[in-house]
Structure 1
Amino acid sequence: MRTLVLMPTYNELGVLESSIEQVLAQGLDLEILVIDDNSPDGTGGLADELSLKHPQVSVLHRTQKQGLGRAYIAGFKWGIEQGFDFVVQMDADGSHRPIDLEKLTSQAHSNRLVIGSRWTPGGRVENWPWFRQVISKAGNFYARKMLGSPVKDMTAGFRCYPTAVLKSFPLSKVQAQGYGFQVEMTLLCQHFGVEIIEVPIIFVERIKGKSKMTYGIVFEAFWLCTKWGFRR
């Protein structure tokens, strides 16, 4: 079974090489696709260099920054076209620990979404200030209640999807771009009868670079969850 790790990047020059080499060091027979949104710091060029060094690494260059959702959808389509059986969403900044990859891939199934969860028993975050933990927990609680979902970490970005499932989704109609994208994809899985399981992971706050979290991303997720909840 072929598995592809998707790593969207935007200004990740200082961490990309380490992240890729740590993933490859796990010995899980994975391939990596770096999806770069024309990073002005040269991340795309570094990704090209790493693809020459490591045959398991490919690069998808996009002409502009269009949001996390569009980047992942482009990666989904690339993975489907290349014949992969599973795709894993993974941050390129080191927040998602490569050592946790096996927890996701070992549970992969042709009709199952596997979520690396911070808020299921055994999961946690490291180096987050208390207020960010409150925002994340409150946001997930709100999404869960509004949408009638049992998933504890609906905004989690560390996930493993079967491409057979993604082929059946109307990906062109996905609205959300920020963390709301994870919620929307979870809803699609529920709607199409895909099994969803959560495995506990440790999320580590990045030590290099700048977080992409903005108030706009938070508001988008809140607004979409509210809209979807009233439609339910």
Structure 2
Amino acid sequence: MTPEPSATAPPRLVVSLATFNEAGNIEPLVAGIREFAPHASVLIIDDNSPDGTGAIADRLVDTLPGVAVIHRPAKLGLGTATLEAMAYAIEHEFDYLLNMDADFSHPPRFIPALLAGMVDRDVMIGSRYIPGGGVEGGFNLKRKFMSTGINLYARTFLGLKTRDNSGAFRCYRVSKLAEIDFSRVRSRGYSFQEEILFWCRQVGCRFGETPILFENRRAGVSKINSREAATALWIIFRLGLGRLLGRV
């Protein structure tokens, strides 16, 4: 069993935020994170947002302790941004990496519950699909069908037991992430959320879920599209087939 961080000090935590056109959200979100996790470092990974998100992130680095930013040259995908955050957490020897969306759909008030669950878990998921969890105002029929379907699909093909496998609001034990060969990760977009849980399962991670309320974004527009959804289904199918054939 992986030893816990010293009881005399809080775990070294970094919160990662992948951004593209989040100028209206990033500054108040960092303030909200620090309200509920005062000891947290914050890593912003910006994909050259044309709305100036990167410049705001630089200003936060200059004015707040424990804030860092990685500037990428273009929109390279949510999966690659999260992988960069994981590599950063490993390199800088953090205990926990907590990832969340940068649009306030993941309210910072749920961070303490995620951290509390890490006492005896290696991955804690902020879940919409366990008792107490949900979606503000509910999903429309199309989005509910897609979200429910992709979670069932992931559980079936990837052998996952957790209920919410498509959400990004999660905390990972960094020492377990270090056991994963990231070169084997195929996803670059939204299927990353399911795939990384598969690889966490492969290295023996213990999973937990805590209920969250998924809220509508405060500013900007949603970036998911049907092409990325189709790609996610294909990648999950290939991973599941590989699992059944004993190739992964």
Q: TM-score range by the shorter chain?
A: over 0.9
2:82 maps to a residue whose letter is Y
Map 1:6-155 → 2, pairs under 5 A: 6-109=16-119, 112-127=122-137, 128-155=139-166
d(CA) in 2 for partners of 1:17, 1:28? 15
Contact 2:37 / 2:112 at 8 angstroms: preserved in 1? no
- Which whole-Å deviations, capped at 9, do the CAs of 1:87-121 have from their partners, x for residues lacking one? 01111110000000011111124861111111122
Structure 1 residue runs of 5 or longer lacking an equivalent are none
Whether the 8 Å contact between 2:121 and 2:208 is mirrored in structure 1 is no
Aligned residues: 232
Give the distance between the partners of 2:189 and 2:132, measured in 1 at CA. Answer: 26
Match of residue 194, structure 2, among 171, 183, 190:
183
Runs of at least 4 residues of structure 1 off by over 4 A? Answer: none
> Could you list the per-position Cα deviations for residues 145-188 of structure 1 after superposition, in whole angstroms to 9, with x for gaps in the alignment?
22232111111100111110111101122111222101111111
Residues 22 and 53, structure 2, Cα contact 8 Å, conserved in 1: yes
Secondary structure of 2:117's aligned partner: coil
Query: Pick from 201, 205, 209: which aligns with 2:212?
Result: 201
| CA distance in 2: counterparts of 1:213 and 1:13, whole angstroms | 18
2:181 counterpart of 1:170: yes
CA shift in 2, pair 1:131/1:10, >3 Å = same
Equivalent pair of 1:189/1:196 in contact (CA under 8 Å):
no
Consecutive unaligned residues of structure 2, counting only runs of 5 or more, are: 1-10
CA–CA distance in structure 2, aligned partners of residues 57 and 176 of structure 1: 27
Corresponding position: 1:220 with 2:227: no
TM-score, normalised by the number of residues in structure 2: 0.89
**What TM-score, normalized to structure 1?**
0.95
Root-mean-square deviation over aligned CA pairs = 1.4
CA–CA separation in structure 1 for the residues paired with 2:46 and 2:69: 7
What amino acid sits opposite 2:104 in the alignment? Answer: G
Distance 2:236 2:70 in 1: 30
C-alpha contact 2:177 2:200 (8 A) present in aligned 1: no
The one-letter code matched in structure 2 to 1:179 is: Y
Q: Deviations over 1:191-223 (max 9, x none)?
A: 111111111111112131011111122111111
